[in-house]
Amino acid sequence: MATVAYVVRSEFVLTHNAAFEGRVRAVHVPAERAIDIDTLLDFKIAEYLLNAREQ
């Protein structure tokens, strides 16, 4: 599983000094939608795959 994003309200972090308390859950993202982009080449590949899927 790839980490896509952490979504936390700033008020929660300021109040609890933590981001992983309370209602924490995972959301499954299929492999074809979870592309690790670290370089410009990775971005171009992801862009190509997105355009190919839309056609």
Would residue 3 count as lying in a domain? no
Structure tokens at 40: 């410009």
Q: Quote the domain boundaries for residue 24.
A: 10-54
3-state SS, residue 53: helix
Report residue 28 as tokens: 């499954």
- Of 8, 9, 1, give the one whose Cα is nearest residue 26: 1
Q: Is the dihedral of CA 46, 7, 21, 16 positive or negative?
A: positive
pLDDT at 40: 98
In a domain, 4, yes or no: no
Instruction: State the total domains in the chain.
Output: 1
In this predicted structure, what is the pLDDT of residue 51?
94
Measured CA distances, 1 to 10, 13, 30, 48, 54 (Å): 25, 25, 9, 22, 24
* Span 7-55, pLDDT tens digits: 888 998 899 888 888 787 888 888 777 888 899 999 999 999 999 988 8
